[in-house]
Amino acid sequence: MPAFRALLSVSDKTGLVDLARRLAAAGVELIASGGTARAIATAGIPVRQVEDVTGFPEILGGRVKTLHPAIHGGILARRTPHHLDELASHNLAPIDLVVANLYPFQATVAQPNVTLATAVEEIDIGGVALLRAAAKNHESVTVVCDPADYAAVADAITTGGTSVHQRKQLAVKAFRHTAEYDTAITAYLAQQVGEDDEPGEPALLARRIHIDLYQQQLNRYGENPHQKGGLYGYVGEAPAFELLHGKEMSYNNWLDLDAAWMAAQDFGAPTVAIVKHGNPCGLASAGTLGDAYAKALASDPVSAFGGIVATSSWRWWWRRLTKPRRWTCSARRRTCASSSTAARRCAR
């Protein structure tokens, strides 16, 4: 029996075949469940089905696949003589690598008109158990929940194995992954059952709020130069702004940018707002952004030095710059230099 065994059970099969091929080439015995095993076998890579290891078939339409002592015993066993002897007494063997990701619950409930029954079927049980078991025993087991980590893990295994530090990092990532997953399930089900509603009263304020954020940027410094700061966004959402060149933004830069941007968006005409250290230095609207900027800067050119300049939406002045289309008005039999909506309104 190979000394190193890997269990693979993934919903998102991105990068699965390449990972399996590299592991197999390194002499790793592959064990996989259901569709994961089929995807690996179809690629011509040797793989054992989970039921071949457990001696028990999948049941309940696939709800129970990997929840078995032959799987979890192999993952949770410490590499001590006592635990290894106990495994051997039951004809079991250690599992050294667990690759798993979860049913797409968040993506499912984000769809319009999804039913509660459909959402419940996307609550992963076995995958969460695999990740938590492997993460708990990270002293000996490597756990991977993100396809972005496949290459680094494969590199490590083919060159002698993962390090303790790498396994700790991957364990933290796995626990974070399952925590975010449970948070999404809790939030959805609480909404479905009206946990926050008082009898006969609509819910005005939630009793609990869970905010899932990730670090988009490490700021140059925090509120003061000797402090650290970071910019965070909601998980699943792209950053609102992109730094094209220059130094990283500071904490105060982001506050000024937010204030200037929001101020400029309140106006329909081309508008420029200038903010420095939380103080408005200039705000002006004009026929063009160039004229608006000149007026805004003239408000306080001294204080504006080093400040943040924000403009209103580009759509308004882009429409002004582009030549309007001409539409034939069937009612008056003449050409109307206007938008299609205005032309149709005139025709009526």
**Residues labelled as active-site residues:** 136, 277
Name the helix (H) or strand (E) containing 341. helix 340-347
β-sheet bridge partners, residue 329: 334
**Residue 28 DSSP one-character state:** P
Is the backbone of residue 140 left (phi > 0), alpha (psi -120 to 50) or beta?
alpha
Q: State both tokens at 193.
A: 């059952």
Cα distances (Å, whole numbers) of residue 190 to 107, 147, 184, 186:
17, 30, 10, 6
Residues 6+ positions from 158 with CB-CB distance below 8 Å: 22, 25, 26
One-letter amino acid at 184 equals A
Name the helix (H) or strand (E) containing 39. helix 34-42
For 342, list phi and psi in degrees, rounded to 5: -65, -40
